[in-house]
Structure 1
Amino acid sequence: MTALTATTADVVLPCLDEARALPWVLSRVPRGWRAIVVDNGSADGSAGVAAALGATVVHEPRRGFGAACHAGLRAAEAEFVCFCDCDASLDPGLLTGFVDRVAAGRADLVLGRRRPERRGVWPAHARAGNLALARMIRARTGLGLHDLGPLRAARRSALLGLGLTDRRSGYPLEMVVKAADAGWRVEERDVPYLPREGRSKVTGTWRGTWHAVRDMRAVLAAPAAEGAGPR
């Protein structure tokens, strides 16, 4: 694990058949932080690999990215909670800077804006879907976001207070929309986007990408709910 940091956090890692990626991902979690690997029905022994490497393993039988993320959030105990994909495409070691921003009171939710390290890392159909989604987010929330990146950090109590209900691919979008509606300060930070291990369960094909975008339209179409701020 990477060097010890003054501010600690729990890192939620939703996992579905990521046994090959887990050793690298868990080695990059900052020392002193807790990795919570949420196994979402893996058939490749991911849960055993994670446990052997010292991670806290949570089993979430209901399939869905949101179901896994929320199970991890509920299992978290630290003041600050981070999220990161478990496919080695993003470095959880970068989350220290995210948490520092939140802890210092400069932001309430920090998102990673993915920057591909080389050609082919981010397939054309996935980038097109992300661009379309970013435009919809800007129109709905007024936030100047360019990406709905899965690398993110916020306070645990504040996230639970948002009352997130989506348990599929709309979960990360619902988090941003409800945060914006609650008046949170949301910011992006550029992060390297690396070649992932295996094929994406959501954006591995044109069909999967556009299906996810279509599903997220329901989140964007929902009326703004009155809510308290992050404090």
Structure 2
Amino acid sequence: MPCLDEEAALPWVLERIPQGWRALVVDNGSTDGSAETARSLGATVVREERRGFGAACHAGLLAADADIVCFCDCDASLDPSLLLPFAEAVREGSADLVLGRRRPERLGAWPVHARAGNHVLARMLRRRTGVRLRDLGPLRAARREGLLALGLTDRRSGYPLQMVVSAAEAGWRIEERNVPYRPRTGKSKVTGTWRGTWHAVRDMRAVLNQPQVPGPSTEPTR
């Protein structure tokens, strides 16, 4: 779980971690006590000095030791307990990568400019890979070794899209499931502003514009 100044949201998020799961919070330079709060609530905290959503996500992937790993934001916009069926689908082998399609619970949960940018990127993804997704949201599950084998290099906002592009080009079965999307706790660093959304779209467009390089299959072993 990438984390940057989410102290207020962490109690809600961490109390919804499924029983028996390990909560791994990657502190990406918080100044509000997020790391201390996460530790006090039983999470393992990893420090990632390099700023960037992708840097935090990948640090968590490297620090994890489970066969199946899940990703979720720390801002209380998504409920991590919803990941249970995602992980089960991967474990059973019916999907290699499962993503949550965000469905706003109320007005303002997902700003119009952020939704529009996501829509454009989803269409570009379809043209590039043929994968028909309606969202590129952060709630997702896959096998750790398979993700590492994809060789993801983006360390900014393009990381989640690069994961999907690389998985699609490796022949992974990608599934999308509806999930409720709540108004986040605190101020958004990305989707809450036009500037943040523009930077995210720019990073993701750069991923989609990269040439497709044929390589050995990285399809997860089952």
**The two structures share one fold, judged by TM-score above 0.5:** yes
Equivalent pair of 1:38/1:71 in contact (CA under 8 Å):
yes
Note the 1:1-231 alignment, pairs <5 A.
Answer: 13-225=1-213, 226-228=215-217, 229-231=219-221
Aligned residue for 2:180, secondary structure, equals: strand
Specify the SS of the correspondent of 1:121.
coil
Match for 2:216: what amino acid?
G
Summarize deviations over 1:87-131 as a string: whole Å, max 9, x none: 000000010100110111100000000000011111111111111
TM-fit CA distance, 1:205? 1.1
Q: Secondary structure at the match of 1:44?
A: coil
Q: Distance in 2 between matches of 1:227 and 1:37?
A: 32
**8 A contact 1:84–1:152 mirrored in 2:** yes
Task: Provide the aligned length of Structure 1 versus Structure 2.
Answer: 219
Cα deviation for residue 137 of structure 1 reads: 1.0
Any unmatched runs of 5+ in structure 1? 1-12
Q: Is the 8 A contact 1:182 1:230 kept in 2?
A: no
Question: Is residue 181–residue 227 contact of structure 1 (8 Å, CA) maintained in 2?
Answer: no
Q: Is residue 162–residue 179 contact of structure 1 (8 Å, CA) maintained in 2?
A: yes
Give, in angstroms, the shift of residue 227 of structure 1.
3.3
Q: Which runs of 5+ in 2 are unaligned?
A: none
Per the normalisation by structure 2, the TM-score is 0.97
